[in-house]
Amino acid sequence: MNLSEITLYNSIFYGLCLDEANLAGAKLERITLSGTSLKKAQITHAILNNAKLAECDFKYASLRRSSLVGANLENADLMEADFSHTDLHHANLTYANLDGADFRNANLDDVKFQGAIYTEDTHFDDDFNPEAHGMKCIRNGSPLESAEHHLFNKRQQLQQHTS
């Protein structure tokens, strides 16, 4: 699906399937896409500032050179996603799955990472300490199911506190 250069502001969508979509250059500020599947999507050079992307599936997606300032990616699956050269200033990645994601040369200033999981295959700049930002490392050799189980338990705890 080619949605490159699309512009949407303050729009709300839940549970869409945008797998392998081309969203290059899209302007999606203050959009809600919670629960949407964006596996292998090309979202390069896009603007998703203040977007609500909680519980979205970005497995293998490329968000390279995009802007996600203030975006909410809580509980998102970012496995193997490319965030290199992306501005994530003030974004919320709490309890996200960062297994194998690439954050090299990304702006991670004031990003909330509490409870997010990462592996030895997750890429950060050399001077970035994930555990100092509240992330938990799932060591290679541990089954991914353990990481997913960890995230599931955290989500359940959050739901109990908000109910």
pLDDT at res. 155: 55
Structure tokens at 16: 């869409």
**Overall average pLDDT of the 151-159 stretch:** 55
Residue at 7: amino acid letter: T
Contact by Cβ (8 Å): 111, 133: yes
Rounded CA separation 159/137 (Å)? 23
Domain parsing of the chain, residue ranges:
1-163
For the domain covering 1-163, report its CATH number.
2.160.20
pLDDT at res. 139: 76
**pLDDT tens digits, residue range 10-61?**
999 999 999 999 999 999 999 999 999 999 999 999 999 999 999 999 999 9
Query: What are the CA-CA distances from residue 38 to residues 42, 53, 111, 127, 141 (Å)?
Result: 9, 10, 22, 30, 27
**pLDDT tens digits, residue range 58-104?**
999 999 999 999 999 999 999 999 999 999 999 999 999 999 999 99
